[in-house]
Structure 1
Amino acid sequence: MGSRRGEPYMTAEDAFTEHRPLLFTLAYEMLGSAADAEDVLQESFLRWSAVDQATVGHPRAYLVRVVTRQALNHLRTLRARREEYVGTWLPEPIRTAPEVSEDVILAESVSMAMMLVLETLNPTERAVFVLHDVFGYTHGEIAASVGKTEVTVRQIAHRARRHVHARRRRFEPDTDATRQIVQRFLHAATSGEVQTLMDLLAPDVVQISDGGGKVVAARRPITGPADVARFVLGVLRTTTTETRIEHATYNGMPAARFVTRGELDWLVAFEIHDGRITGLYGMRNPDKLHRAETVLPLDRGGN
């Protein structure tokens, strides 16, 4: 492949690697699964490799279109599978670097609460919302990716944005202040300080667990400080002296990892607003913890 005039030589693999964090972020936000996002990237790379690179004027735009189309195909299959999911479904948690929290738009877009809202959109609405409101693509650019007219994309974007804004929860990214709240919460929980525990929970707090039908987990969301506190204390009573709690960042949120005999048993991501915990998202499904050790680079790119 020859390079375009004035540009350095770049292979198909080089170009894909350069944009991979952006492409993974897009696929993950559309699918809610790191495993499925990786599958989409593999398929997209195969398609990209078969293209005459000299005919592609803007590799990033071309790759975004390919990944969007592949993700849409996957998403339609996943929606049917998730209707049969045992218990409450949560997105596969991804370990994120601290700098993700510095980009509030990116951090909120991958937060557990936002990912759950995105699940309520149809596939095309989800693609349009993510491409426009998260990645900043124009309606015309999105039209080329989803196979719709620009007028139609504009209407879809308006409908999707109204839907998301009506359901989105308050969001604060992972900071020193939110991590301190999590530390106080965990200390109170492990010490059995019920009142302190409840004081740290917002009146509308919700706890959601995902066991995938493979391990013990609450089948339905638990709401309210009293019931959430009772649930947390009950869970901690089942842990052993060999269990250690590690602090980390997942999906741009402060999180706690519960590790027993070197194995990650479960992790909890905390949603915090105005000094109180508004959401606890507990992942116990072992199928969704395979990549939990690796920090995955995320990127919205520069439009």
Structure 2
Amino acid sequence: GELSVAFMYVLERLGPEERAAFLLRQVFDYDYPEIAAQLGKTEASCRQMVHRASERVQQARTRFEVPQAVHHQLLQRFMKAAQSGDRHAIEALLSEDAQLIGDGGGIVPSFPKPLVGPFRITNLYWAVFRRLGAQVVYRMALINGEPGLLRYVGGRIESAQAFVTDGERIVAIYAVRNPDKLAGIPAMLPL
């Protein structure tokens, strides 16, 4: 099945070995001797890593599994704020530990490190608004089966943005700007 955006966000919080052990076990259904061989670890330590990772994923799921209607409403408010360049409204919708994670895929300039904190993320959206004004149009869309936003600049797709929310505020934004990955998305703004 598709990995939800929230699930991916949680996985990124795990250490690389913990994440590998967890994915091999839960997603690819490897048994422990196979995982141990893959990671060059003992079976016991692999069991422990999977156990720890599973607990963290469970905790996070309870935080991030939000009714779709609530998620949708938050995004609509965010879209309106971004569209009108309303700094205060944008910032108020972001959690204290909010992150913006960009993926330009090496083709389009992106930001190598996540932007952390409401202030920096707000500045980015505001800068786009200031620079491009009415050329920027946001649309709600399903991304990976979950509500997200598409950003069009001058009528052409510029990025697809998936969101992790905790029901009250936005915790993470994944901005995909790689043209190849945007293949399933209308390249021109539907009129």
How many residues are paired up? 178
User: Per-residue CA shift, 1:166-215, capped at 9, x if unaligned?
Assistant: 47754124611111111111111222222122111111111111113322
> Where does residue 143 of structure 1 map in the other structure?
31
1:213 is paired with a residue whose SS is: coil
The 1:143/1:166 distance shift into structure 2, 3 A limit, reads closer
Amino acid at match of 2:10: M
Aligned partner letter, 1:200 = L
State the partner residue of 1:178.
71
Q: Which residue is 1:114 aligned to?
A: 10
Matched residues in 2 for 1:225 and 1:144: separation?
41
**Equivalent in 20, 24, 37 of residue 127 of structure 1:** 24
1:85 is matched with which residue? none
Q: Which runs of 5+ in 1 are unaligned?
A: 1-24, 30-106, 133-141, 294-303
Identity value in percent: 26
Residue 240 of structure 1 deviates from its aligned partner by: 6.2
Q: Counterpart of 2:189? A: none
Match of 1:103 in 2: none
What is the Cα deviation at residue 165 of structure 1? 4.0
Report the equivalent of 2:157: 264
Q: CA deviation at 1:161?
A: 3.4
Q: Is the 8 A contact 2:107 2:178 kept in 1?
A: yes
> Does residue 190 of the first structure (1) align with residue 83 of the second (2)?
yes
Cα offset, 1:253, TM superposition: 3.6
- Deviations 1:267-301 (Å, cap 9, x if unpaired)? 111111141111111111223222456xxxxxxxx
TM-score normalised per structure 2: 0.72
Q: Are residue 273 (structure 1) and residue 172 (structure 2) matched?
A: no
- In structure 1, what is the equivalent of residue 49 of structure 2? 159
In structure 1, the partner of 2:183 is 290
Distance 2:185 2:47 in 1: 32
Structure 1 position 115, deviation (Å): 4.8
Unaligned runs of 5+ in 2: 187-191
Q: Kindly report the root-mean-square deviation, in angstroms, between the aligned alpha carbons of the 2 structures.
A: 3.4
Task: Give the partner amino acid of 2:23.
Answer: R
Q: Residue by residue, what CA displacement relative to the aligned partner does 1:26-84 show, whole Å, maximum 9, x if unpaired?
A: xx76xxxxxxxxxxxxxxxxxxxxxxxxxxxxxxxxxxxxxxxxxxxxxxxxxxxxxxx
Q: 1:145 to 1:253 in 2, by over 3 A?
A: farther
Relative to structure 1, the CA distance from residue 143 to residue 264 in structure 2 (aligned partners, 3 Å threshold; closer, same or farther) is: same
2: distance between equivalents of 1:205 and 1:147?
33
Give matches, 1:81-96, under 5 Å.
Answer: none
**Cα–Cα, structure 1 residues 292 and 114, in superposed 2: closer, same or farther, change >3 Å?**
farther
2:130 counterpart of 1:237: yes
Provide the secondary structure at the position in 2 that maps to 1:278. strand
Aligned partner of 2:108 in structure 1 is 215
* Matched AA of 1:114: V
Structure 2 residue identity aligned to 1:128: R
Greater share of residues in strand: 2
**1:69-109 alpha-carbon deviations (Å, 9 max, x no partner):** xxxxxxxxxxxxxxxxxxxxxxxxxxxxxxxxxxxxxx46x
User: Is the 2:135–2:155 Cα contact (8 Å) retained in structure 1?
Assistant: no
